[in-house]
Amino acid sequence: MKVAIKTPNKTYDILIEKLPEIEINKKVAVITNPKVSGLHINYLTNKLKAKELIIITLPDGEEYKNWQSIEYVLDRLFDAKFDRNSVLIAFGGGVIGDMTGFAASIFLRGVEFIQIPTTLLAMVDSSVGGKTGINNKYGKNLIGSFYQPEAVYIDTHFLSTLEKREFSAGMAEIIKMAVMFDKEFFENIKNDKLTLEEMIKRAVELKAEVVNQDEKEKGIRSVLNYGHTFGHVIENLTNYKTYLHGEAVAIGMVMANELSKELGFLSEKEAQDIKKLLKRYNLPTDFNINNPEEFYAHFFLDKKTTDNKIKFIIPQNIGQYKIVKDIPKEKVIKVLKKFSQ
């Protein structure tokens, strides 16, 4: 299965199939972490033929998605005398993908890179669309670039070793895409009509359609933030410790749905259907908001809140998104109070 990405400067394929033989007659660096490498590096290197191959291993974890890791990668590339003609391969989840893409975009002003995502979230979300980046003390993903890979290889073989919680976090992003854009897709997930590959393919297709229209998030790409506006506040209030990102997004979707209901769009039945599906994939759907005013104030810390206006992405119906701004504070507080016990 193949999905094409067509941005103004680059067209490439996302392949969803068993990893093929990859032959690259150049110097190649695989960037990975000890966990992924320990589980899967042989599977990759058995398929990979390069003129010269080095493996760069970064420590595992979001806390290492920083400048220090990028410098480490760049140093290893210089040590191994990599040149403009060399290729980087991101082999891991979203953390490795974002860092490898960023390193590729700045090493000698840009070298080619390939994404081989190994988490469900990376397969359906972070490896698609060319956003790269790292975190710093001012926040998450504040430094980075839009930089598209040469290709993305999605092989579900890797998911056999993924922890259940990480799998569910990826499912949250798949369900998000269905609710925003495709009612039939939502119904098919709900009725267990799709294989995992088919779900991944449809989610990737939908994200590709968005990226092809708006690579640099000037417009429609922001629709992908359904669940994220609320989710970011939850992550913030819990110091990024309690929930995986996808889990916070799942709760955020439930909150956005309540807002949609309050504004007269989504029906109670649809909101329940979405909640049930999230629950079926073991995603959290509830969060106790101790202080709605404080929660509200946190919306303004989000880098995506511009001109002091909160932009909410909500479903108008299942399969159809709506962007709403200028919602009176009282209405939002009323929704937040529904989550206060």
Give the footprint of ligand NAD on this chain (CB under 6 A): 33, 35-36, 39, 60, 62, 65, 92-96, 98, 118-119, 121-122, 125-126, 129, 131, 140-141, 158, 161-162, 166, 169, 245
Whichever of 69 and 335 has its CB closer to ligand NAD, that residue is 69
Nearer to ligand NAD, 122 or 251 (CB): 122
Among candidate residues 217, 236, 279, 322, the one labeled active-site is 217
Shortest distance, position 129 Cβ to ligand NAD, whole Å: 5
* 109 is an active site residue: yes
Shortest CB 333 distance to ligand NAD, Å: 29
Three-state SS annotation for the chain = CEEEEEECCEEEEEEECCCCCEEEEEEEEEEECHHHHHHHHHHHHCCEEEEEEEEEECCCCHHHCCHHHHHHHHHHHHHCCCCCCCEEEEEECHHHHHHHHHHHHHHHHCCEEEEEECCHHHHHHHCCCCEEEEEECCEEEEEEEECCCCEEEECHHHHHHCCHHHHHHHHHHHHHHHHHHCHHHHHHHHCCCCCHHHHHHHHHHHHHHHHHHCCCCCCHHHHHHCCHHHHHHHHHHCCCCCCCHHHHHHHHHHHHHHHHHHCCCCCHHHHHHHHHHHHHCCCCCCCCCCCHHHHHHHHHHCCCCECCECCEEEEEECCEEEEECCCCHHHHHHHHHCCCC
Is 135 a catalytic site residue? no
Provide, rounded to whole angstroms, the least separation between the CB of residue 28 and ligand NAD: 20
Choice among 173, 205, 215, 247 that is catalytic: 173
Q: Which of 81, 109, 137, 325 is catalytic?
A: 109
Is 165 among the catalytic positions? no
Confirm whether 225 is a catalytic residue: yes
Kindly state the smallest distance separating residue 130's Cβ from ligand NAD, in Å. 8
Q: Which residue is catalytic, options 76, 176, 245, 261?
A: 245
Which of residues 62 and 112 has its CB atom nearest to ligand NAD in the complex? 62
Active-site pick, 40, 65, 76, 232: 232
Instruction: Identify the active-site residue in 76, 225, 235, 298.
Output: 225
Asked if 269 is an active-site residue, the reply is no
Nearer to ligand NAD, 156 or 316 (CB): 156
CB-wise, 32 or 260, nearer to ligand NAD? Answer: 32
228 assigned to active site: yes
Q: Output 121 or 178, the one with its CB closest to ligand NAD.
A: 121
Active-site residue, 298 included? no
Q: How far is it, in rounded angstroms, from Cα 284 to Cα 278?
A: 7
Cβ 123 to ligand NAD shortest distance, Å: 9
Minimum gap (Å) between residue 56 Cβ and ligand NAD? 15
Q: Is 47 a catalytic residue?
A: no
Tally the C-alpha atoms within 13 A of residue 184's C-alpha that lie toward its C-beta: 2
- Of 145 and 285, nearer to ligand NAD (C-beta) is 145
Question: Can 280 be counted among the known catalytic residues?
Answer: no
207, 261, 298, 311: the catalytic one is 207
Count of alpha carbons within 13 Å of 104, Cβ hemisphere only? 29
Question: Does residue 217 have an active-site annotation?
Answer: yes
Q: Give the type of residue at 280.
A: R
CB of 270 to ligand NAD, least distance (A): 25
**Structure token digits, residue 205:** 């297709």
Report the candidate in 95, 97, 61, 253 with the shortest Cα–Cα distance to residue 171: 253
What are the residue numbers of the active site?
109, 131, 173, 207, 217, 221, 225, 228, 232, 245
